[in-house]
Amino acid sequence: MTRIADHSPVLGTVVQTRIDADDTVAGQAESAILAEFERLDAVFSTYRSDSELSEWSHGGGPCSPELTAVLAAAEYWWQESHGAFHPAVGHLRAHWLLAADSDGPPPRLPASLEPAPLPFRVVAGDVVQVSDCSGVDLNAIAKGYIVDRAAAVGRSLPGVAAVVVNAGGDLLHSGTGSVEVGIEDPFRPYDNLPARWRVRIANEALATSGLARRGFRVADAWYGHVIDPRTGWPVEHTASVSVRAPRAMDADALATICGVLPPREALDFLSGRDGCAALIVDAEGAVHDSPTWFS
């Protein structure tokens, strides 16, 4: 049988679980998944001053294996994307939030806020802070990692045939069968319309990022929440990005990268990466997709 449940709030969003198992085992898997979310929230939360990430980013002690793994992945995608992905945009985001709260003009960004260098390095499994890490938030990659880990914990229980974990747009299917996922029209996000596109996911992840629901309203203008770390300004050329990848952590990071890069550059960036594909809607409504998107 299949057990589907919504859990809120988890990581500040709604987490949906779908577990294929008998009712008793499904309940155990559900509890294990939620416990893993809670455990890793204590590692990665940027809203808790006592989280491991918060303490480390302000000069705390050594990193756990979980935090080290995500920092290493963040460094990898920063290098691969030549800075289009940056795990230390917290100061830039705070600057835009301040402008939105003050109802003033768009911010003039001082050079000191541009987070071009990476403030840490992962060397032989050890994390080294090389400059101020207080702007490291990992928001563009940590949720995907947590989805990966939570799904693995649920799937590991004997008798569980398949698990789907969906945390606010970061989704992973693991096990037998597949799941069909709908993607909404980014220009009509509040109209309760049927999904504009549908894609089938099997033992892989899907991450979707849109500009319609999250962002900054500054001086009567709306700016999306995805900030280009290379300029400090929110992206305006893309309305929505959905990325398929083998892991939710990679899909999460790639959705950010593909939102920062112009659509054709984004598809070129994905080309040749095993198991990765994207569906991108630009600001004019044109649709761009990888050749393998619907395969």
- Determine the pLDDT at residue 232: 87
- Determine the pLDDT at residue 190: 67
- Determine the pLDDT at residue 111: 54
CA distance 250 to 29: 24
**Residue 234 DSSP code:** B
**Residue 183 DSSP code:** E
- Determine the pLDDT at residue 8: 87
> 183 to each of 178, 187, 226, 232, 284, how far by Cα in Å?
16, 12, 19, 28, 18
- Tokens representing 250? 């990679």
In which residue ranges of the chain is pLDDT below 70?
105, 107-116, 189-191, 212-213, 295
- Determine the pLDDT at residue 6: 94
Q: What CATH fold (topology level) applies to the domain 2-289? A: T-fold (3.10.520)
- Determine the pLDDT at residue 253: 97
Task: With beta carbons less than 8 A apart as the criterion, state whether 21 and 159 touch.
Answer: yes
- Determine the pLDDT at residue 171: 98
| pLDDT tens, residue by residue, 238-284 | 999 999 999 999 999 999 999 999 999 999 999 999 999 999 999 99
Task: With beta carbons less than 8 A apart as the criterion, state whether 160 and 29 touch.
Answer: yes
Domain residue limits, the chain: 2-289
Sign of CA dihedral 70, 71, 76, 80: positive
CA distance 186 to 197: 11
> 105 to each of 13, 99, 230, how far by Cα in Å?
30, 7, 21
- Determine the pLDDT at residue 216: 83
- Determine the pLDDT at residue 212: 63
- Tokens representing 35? 């416990």
> Considering the entire predicted model, what is its pTM?
0.93
- Determine the pLDDT at residue 86: 94
